Every structure is written in C-alpha cells, then in structure tokens.
Amino acid sequence: MTTGTADATRVSERRVIGNVLRGSLGNLIEWYDWYAYAAFTTYFAKAFFPGGDATAQFLNTAAVFAVGFLMRPLGGWLLGRFADRFGRRTALVASVSMMAFGSLLIAVTPGYSTIGVAAPILLVLARLLQGLSVGGEYSTSATYLSEVATPGKRGFYSSFQYVTLVGGQLLALGLQLILQNVLSEAQMNSWGWRIAFVVGAVAAVAVMWLRRGMDESESYERESEGGTATGKNAGERGTVRTLVKYPKEVALVVGLTLGGTVAFYTYATYSQKFLEVTSGIPRKTVTWILFFALLAFAILQPVAGRLSDRIGRRPMLMFFGIAGTLLTVPIMTLMAGTKNPFVAFLLMLGALVIVTGYTSINAIVKAELFPTKIRALGVGLPYALTVAIFGGTAELIAQALKKAGHETVFFWYVAGCILVSLIVYGTMRETSKSSELEKKTEAE
C-alpha cells in the first residue's frame, strides 16, 4: 500500500468514525429522553394526573398505551419514508428536533393545579411526539450507520445503535440517582424532575446542530443522483407500494425481530419488577443490578458486532436462538428463586450475553436485506410493528400470567418466541455474503 493510499484510507476511516459518533450521539440522546419519562414518572405523575380526576386518569392511561408503542410504527413509516425520499441526514435532524421539542414541552408545562386538564393533554401531546421521534430514529439511524460504515466493519459500527440505546437508559437512571442524592424528596416532586427534561431538550438541540454537519451516505446519494427528491426512481423510494414488492424480506424482519424484542424487553425492562416482586430483592438493590448488567451489555455490543464481521451474522443469530430457546426457562426459574443480589446479577448478565447475539447485529442484518431506495422504510416499519405487538406486550402478558397464578408460563412464552426466530435464523441466508449494501459498493 502506498503512502498516499494509506493516508486516504486513514482520512476515510476518520470521516466514518466522525459520522458514526454524531449519529450515535443523537441516538443516545433520543433514548435518554425516552427513558427519562419512565425514570421520573413517579415524581411528576401527581402533578399532571391527580388521582381524583377521572378525565385526567383516562388521559394518563391513553398516553401510556398510545405513546409507549403505538406511535413507534407510525414514526417508523413516516420518517422511514422521509429518509428514503429526502435523505438520511435530513431525517435524523428532523427526528432529534421532534424529540427536543417534546422534552422541552414536558419541562415547561405547568401542573394540573395551574392550568387544569390542559396539563395532561400537553403531556400526552409531548409524549406522542417523542414516540413518533423514537420510532423514526431506529429506522433512520440503523440505515445510516450501516451505510456509512466501512465495508468489512459494518457489524462493528452498526452495533453502536444498541450501545447508545442502552446508554440512554443508563444516563436517565444515572441522573435520577444524582438528583435523588442532591435534592430532597419534596424538591424532586415539586420541580426537580423537570431538570431531567431540560437536560434532554438542551442535549437534543446540541445534537441537532451536530447532525447537520454529518455527511449524507454515499448509498443514498448514488440512488438519488445528488440527494434530490426528483432523481432516478424517485417515485419508488420510500413507498409502501415499493415495500410490498419485498414480501420475503419484510417477513424476515418480522421473524428476526420477534424473539429478540421479547427477550430484550423481558430482561431490560420487566426484570426490574420481576426481581423486586417475584424474587423479593429490595428496589434499590435491583436498580443497581440492572444498571451494572446493562452497562456490561452495552460494552458487549461492539465486541459482538466485530465478531459478526469475521464469522458472519447468521452464527451470532443462531447462538442467540439456540441458547435463548434452551436456557430462558432455567435462567428465569433461578432468578425467581434467588434472593442473593450477586447471583441475580450473574443470571441477568448471562441472559443479556445471550440476547447480545441478536441486539448487536439486528440493525445491520435488516439493512443488508433491502436496496437503498426502500432501506429505511424496510428496516423501520416491519420492525416497529413487531416491537409494538410483541415487545410492547411482553410485560403485560407477564403480569397477567402472574396475577392468574401461572407466572412460569411466561418463561415458556419467551422461550417459544425465541424458538420461532430460531427457525427463521436456521433457514435464512447469510446476509453479509449477499448484502445489498455491498452490492451498491461494488457497483460504484
């Protein structure tokens, strides 16, 4: 390799790293804002939804349901279509802008005692906007990170999507722990919780500025002949009409996602209540268990992503599918029966190591299935629908079975969902060997 070629390679790699960092930072803040709502709900719930007001209680229930997952498929469709037609960078800027506005609206909205029912209405609107944003963020950031990554390292770079997704949750938990130690309970309930949303809004504005300086992906620029919405195939880009021409790929996304999303939401979110209520471990201890387990989980993502670049995506998925099918019931049974925090942590960590086989590469595998003109929508819409139907209902099913006295049935349900995905993994092709991303690179 000549000196000039080596220098050009280093410059190119630095640009890739810069684009990935800016894209990932935006994803981090998006998920911080999303999880901050859940982390600080206990402090602001009474301010917006007083228990004696039936209307406000109804709005609260509707917000939790509608915003939690219902808006994410809509965001996946809307911003996925936008990204395919007008560019990944523009869609990413739009996504984080919506999140910034949603967080700011929550931060400055007066309580029910000041403006009455307008308070919960504004909160619901803000959360709807955040749901729309985070639904579109997945499809666009997964597509962008996959497209701008260096060939041969796409698994590594795209894995940072889950690093930042989990990182957002950790940031929200971390800020909550800091504020709890700095402010009194009365201050937290009165105004302290607003700090979390001010931080989120300011950070989102900063990321919005950073994202404006990102390079557009070369894949999109080639497809759109300079990035305009009137280039070749403009009428086919980002439309459901075009997406239905890829039924096998859409079905693959659903099958790929089913077991992974149920497992992820079981361990990353429901496990906090599971360890507290079923295992009987104190709440603060459970918070620390989850914090350190998720921290290790985030660190594992790029390691597993890089491994997939060497051995392929399918072996990683097969590891998750086989281990998840065989070990989910034993792991959850042992978790239910232990009161030892260290044992609970090891079991949680073991479960998340298994889930890493899916999370570390789920973005790149989906991106490798679709051509550029429909990639963002193809990645986002079927994924968001599957998460809404299966990931979003995991905790509901778990709690319903527990209430009915059949909690162990949920363990088998999770294992069964992973088994369905394992069947898909066993029959699918190795996407890194027939990647639409690499076809575009070769055609350049």
> Which pair of tokens denotes residue 128?
């709807």
Render 238-252 in DSSP notation, one character per residue: T-HHHHTT-HHHHHH
Q: Is 242-444 the same fold as 20-216?
A: yes
Q: Which of 220, 192, 216, 199 is nearest to 29 (CA)?
A: 199
Q: What residue type is assigned to position 181 of the chain? A: N
Q: How big is the CA angle at 89 (ends 79 and 156), to the nearest 5 degrees?
A: 95
d(CA 369, CA 423): 18
pLDDT of residue 204: 87
Is 383 in contact with 255 (CB distance < 8 Å)?
A: no
Cβ atoms < 10 Å from Cβ of 410: 22
Handedness of CA 408, 410, 411, 417 (dihedral sign): positive
Q: Which of 170, 415, 433 is nearest to 294 (CA)?
A: 170
Is 233 in contact with 84 (CB distance < 8 Å)?
A: no
Q: pTM of the full predicted structure?
A: 0.82
Domain boundaries 242-444, corresponding CATH code: 1.20.1250.20
Domain definitions of the chain by residue range: 20-216, 242-444
d(CA 215, CA 315): 32
pLDDT in tens, the chain (444 residues): 554 444 444 546 777 888 788 778 878 888 898 888 877 877 787 788 776 554 554 456 445 545 666 788 888 888 888 888 888 888 888 888 888 898 999 999 998 888 888 888 888 888 888 888 888 887 788 888 888 877 888 888 888 888 888 899 899 888 988 888 898 888 988 899 999 999 999 988 888 888 877 788 777 777 766 444 444 555 667 688 888 888 999 999 999 999 999 999 899 878 888 888 888 888 778 888 988 999 999 999 999 999 999 999 999 999 999 999 999 999 999 999 999 999 999 999 999 999 999 999 988 888 888 888 888 888 888 988 898 888 878 888 888 888 888 889 999 999 999 999 999 999 998 888 877 776 644 444
User: How far is the CA of 415 from the CAs of 258, 260, 265, 331, 425, in angstroms?
Assistant: 11, 10, 13, 11, 15
pLDDT of residue 270: 83
CA 303 to chain centre: 18
User: How far is the CA of 232 from the CAs of 368, 369, 430, 443, in angstroms?
Assistant: 21, 21, 30, 16
Dmax of the chain from CA atoms? 75
**pLDDT digits over 354-369, tens only?**
999 999 998 888 888 8
The CATH T-level fold of domain 20-216 is Growth Hormone; Chain: A; (1.20.1250)
H or E element at residue 330: helix 313-337
Render 111-161 in DSSP notation, one character per residue: -HHHHTTHHHHHHHHHHHHHHHHHHHHHHHHHHHHHHHSPTT-HHHHHTHH
Q: What residue type is assigned to position 167 of the chain? A: G
Q: How many CA atoms lie within 13 A of 385 on its CB side?
A: 11
Scan for tokens 């994410």, then name that residue: 72
